[in-house]
Amino acid sequence: MKIVMLGAPGAGKGTQAERLASEYGLPHISTGDIFRKNIKEGTELGKEAKSFMDAGRLVPDELTVRILLDRVADDDCKKGYILDGFPRTIPQAEALDSELEKLGEKIDFAIDVDVPDENIIKRMSGRRACPRCGATYHMQHVPPKKDGVCDECGTELVIRDDDKPETVKNRLAVYHEQTQPLVEYYRKKGVYHTVDGTADVGAVFDSIRSILG
């Protein structure tokens, strides 16, 4: 089963993808997490991605597509995967589909976690992330068991560099302009579903599970 998670920055794609990954035993692939890992490790890719991310802009398609196609060619992706934050532009979606077509495969579900912009700005200010394993928390809605520390790996949680209110506004503008057209793209392919992302984390998860069956 191949799933694409759609939705604005901060809609909860990562939160839901993480849960789905453990429920369905599929790899969770976040291009944002891949870029952040590279930034942390100081790789060339990280250096290139950082300037775009800090400005709230998209990393160029060519680079992003190459990284993603490499990742989905790994052995653990043979049974399927959950893509979180990819595709984010029509050319990215087309590149993925043409690669899948060669293998006689396709995206089975595109799940849009729908949250209005005004909720997003509030949510982002409370987000904390684990720089080591990528787990995501929220100070009010999804707190870690121990204040400021990751439940999974014990690492100290951080605020993401791109969660400043100004950057969040840019990310939302970029989302509406470049990513939202994917709604029509996947609707035409008959795989588009939307869930109310303003409900609590467990309720959103249940809605997605009922779509996946």
Q: Which residues belong to the active site? A: 13, 88, 127, 160, 171
Stretch that binds ligand AP5, among 28-36, 72-80, 147-155, 187-195 (CB under 6 A): 28-36
* C-beta closer to Mg ion: residue 5 or 96: 5
Partner interacting with residue 201 (select from Mg ion, ligand AP5, none; CB below 5-8 Å by kind): ligand AP5
DSSP conformation class of 44:
H
Q: How far is the CB of 36 from Mg ion (least distance, A)?
A: 10
Per DSSP, the three-state class of 193 is: strand
| Rounded Cα distance, 119 and 159, in Å | 18
Give how far the C-alpha of residue 187 lies from the chain's centroid of Cα atoms, to the nearest Å.
Answer: 19
Q: Is 58 in the site for ligand AP5 (CB under 6 A)?
A: yes
CA distance 141 to 126: 8
Residues of this chain that bind Mg ion (CB under 5 A) = 14
CB of 2 or CB of 127, closer to ligand AP5: 127
Task: Please state the closest distance from residue 123 (CB atom) to ligand AP5, in A.
Answer: 4
12 touches ligand AP5 by CB under 6 A: yes
Q: In the complex, what is the shortest distance from the CB of residue 150 to ligand AP5, in angstroms, rounded to a whole number?
A: 13
Among 20, 82, 96, 204, binds ligand AP5 (CB under 6 A): 204
200 sits near ligand AP5 (criterion: CB under 6 A): yes
Of positions 3, 59, 82, 110, contacts ligand AP5 by CB under 6 A: 59
Element (H, E) at 100: helix 90-102
**Rule CB under 6 A: which of 78-97 touch ligand AP5?**
85-86, 88, 92
Q: What Cα–Cα distance (Å) separates residue 150 from each residue in 83, 130, 158, 163, 184?
A: 23, 6, 10, 18, 37
- 142 near ligand AP5, judged by CB under 6 A: yes
Work out how close the CB of 136 gets to Mg ion at its nearest, in angstroms, rounded to a whole number: 7
Structure tokens at 142: 């999804």
Q: Could you give the CA distance from residue 36 to residue 134 in angstroms, rounded to a whole number?
A: 9
Footprint of ligand AP5 on this chain (CB under 6 A)?
7, 9-15, 30-32, 35, 52-53, 56-59, 64, 85-86, 88, 92, 123, 126-127, 136-138, 141-142, 162, 171, 197, 200-201, 204
